[in-house]
């Protein structure tokens, strides 16, 4: 047996292999079920007890050596295969990384903000997790107004006087601005808002708004109308007309809803404007004296106007997208449509 072990050791040392196949053949020859090393291990049972210790040790060494040698061969075959592989073709075109584009909601939000910046408005932002005071109380919402109910608002914490909630509109940023900024104030406040709505083509629980606020001495409804007309013409084209319909918001008095002439049929009536020739774009009004007072502004000295619009709504009208859900699903086929739509 001793000689057999030495013989195999020698053979292992001289073993060569040119391919993975030959390495595998060598493995089977020595270590396979019927391999030479395996056969010796089996013979070990017949070794005289006084020699078992010595031979056992030798056999273990042999097995280890065989495994190591096979691994070594495997590694060197792999190395030489890599070295022999054809060199890369440097003239091949590279992988392309398609350029992303801005999301249509970001594009329109930026367009709205840019238009008002041209008119001299600053930009203000506020927290998305707000308190009841800034979203409702300071904006003159009566205590039992339905917007204060669970079914319309996502509450973060309840059970105390000023619960935390996800803001339902960016009008809360008006309040924060009035609290800290010296007068006169001229700001637009873009941001994300949250409402407890079932998701459909026309409603979503997350969307974006741009709020506007202008407070100074002698600000009138005529100033409001002019600001909105200028905005509408920048946004939808120089021929655009606006009309205002009386409405109600707790934080403005008087309040109005603004429609623009339909930019598809130019007032003739189509299915986008449902045959009316007009499209609703925002709410607005003169800031209610109670709102000014709540933020420490004297309504006898100052007056102001405010307006608020939905960014997705403006984007829908600009690009005739008839399902709000497209804006949140991140379907590349939809997003790719806006790759070049960066201009007003």
Q: Where do contacts with ligand DAH occur on this chain (CB under 6 A)?
A: 169, 171, 211, 249, 252, 283-285, 306-308
Contacts 24+ apart (CB under 8 A), 201-206: 201/322, 201/323, 201/324, 201/325, 202/324, 203/324, 204/312, 204/324, 204/325, 204/327, 204/328, 205/154, 206/328
Joined together, the tokens standing for residue 214 give 């202008």
Give min distance, CB of 235 to ligand DAH, in A.
Answer: 17
Task: Tell me how far, at minimum, the Cβ of 143 lies from ligand DAH, in Å.
Answer: 18
Which is nearer to ligand DAH, 121 or 307 (by Cβ)?
A: 307
Compare residues 12 and 284 and give the one whose CB is closer to ligand DAH: 284
Which residues, in sequence order, are CB contacts of 93 under 8 Å at separation 6+? none
Q: Distance between CA 40 and CA 107 in Å, rounded?
A: 78
Comparing CB distances to ligand DAH, the nearer of 27 and 167 is 167
Nearest residue (CB) to ligand DAH, 191 versus 308: 308
Tell me how far the alpha carbon of residue 248 is from its chain's centroid: 34
Q: Which residue is nearest to ligand DAH (CB)?
A: 308
CA–CA separation, 10 vs 65, rounded Å?
11
Distance from C-alpha of 72 to C-alpha of 30, rounded to nearest angstrom: 15
Annotate 263-275 with three-state secondary structure.
Answer: CCCCCCCCCCCCC
In the bound state with ligand DAH, the residue whose beta carbon lies nearer, of 12 and 178, is 178
Buried b (16+ CB within 10 A) or exposed e, 229-238: eebbbbbbee
Query: Residue 55 or 141: which CB sits closer to ligand DAH?
Result: 141
Which tokens belong to 139?
């904006």
CB of 239 to ligand DAH, least distance (A): 25
Provide the minimum distance between the beta carbon of 309 and ligand DAH in the complex, in angstroms, as a whole number.
7
Q: H or E stretch including 57?
A: helix 52-84
State the minimum distance, in angstroms, from the CB of residue 319 to ligand DAH: 22
Q: Closest approach of Cβ 251 to ligand DAH, in Å?
A: 6
Closest approach, Cβ 170 to ligand DAH, in A, equals 7
What is the C-alpha separation between 183 and 77, in angstroms, rounded?
A: 80
Tell me whether residue 249 or residue 338 sits nearer to ligand DAH (CB atom).
249
Closer to ligand DAH at the Cβ: 126 or 308? Answer: 308
Q: How far is the CB of 94 from ligand DAH (least distance, A)?
A: 49
């Amino acid at each position: 047996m001793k000689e057999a072990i030495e013989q195999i050791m020698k053979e292992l040392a001289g073993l060569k292999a040119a391919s993975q196949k030959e390495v595998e053949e060598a493995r089977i020859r020595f270590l396979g079920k019927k391999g030479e090393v395996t056969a010796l291990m089996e013979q070990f049972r017949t070794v005289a007890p006084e020699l078992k210790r010595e031979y056992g040790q030798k056999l273990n060494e042999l097995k280890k050596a065989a495994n190591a040698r096979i691994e070594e061969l495997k590694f060197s075959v792999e190395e030489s295969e890599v070295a022999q592989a054809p060199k890369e073709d440097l003239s091949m075109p590279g992988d392309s990384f398609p350029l992303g584009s801005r999301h249509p909601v970001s594009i329109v939000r930026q367009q709205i903000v840019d238009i008002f910046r041209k008119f001299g408005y600053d930009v203000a932002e506020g927290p998305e997790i707000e308190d009841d005071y800034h979203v409702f109380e300071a904006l003159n919402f009566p205590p039992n107004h339905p917007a204060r109910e669970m079914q319309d608002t996502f509450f973060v914490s309840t059970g105390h006087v000023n619960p935390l909630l996800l803001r339902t509109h960016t009008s809360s940023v008006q309040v924060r601005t009035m609290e800290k900024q010296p007068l006169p104030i001229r700001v637009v406040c873009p941001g994300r808002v949250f409402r407890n709505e079932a998701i459909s083509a026309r409603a979503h629980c997350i969307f974006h708004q741009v709020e506007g606020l202008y407070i100074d001495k002698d600000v009138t409804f005529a100033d409001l109308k002019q600001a909105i007309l200028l905005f509408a013409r920048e946004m939808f084209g120089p021929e655009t007309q606006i009309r205002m319909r009386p409405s109600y918001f707790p934080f403005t008095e008087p309040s109005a809803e603004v429609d623009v002439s339909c930019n598809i049929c130019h007032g003739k009536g189509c299915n986008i404007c449902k045959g009316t020739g007009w499209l609703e774009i925002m709410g607005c009004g003169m800031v209610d004296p109670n709102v000014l007072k709540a933020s420490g502004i004297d309504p006898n000295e100052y007056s102001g106007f405010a307006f608020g619009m939905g960014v997705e709504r403006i984007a829908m009208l600009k690009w005739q997208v008839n399902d709000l859900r497209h804006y949140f699903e991140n379907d590349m086929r939809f997003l790719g449509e806006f790759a070049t739509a960066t201009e007003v």
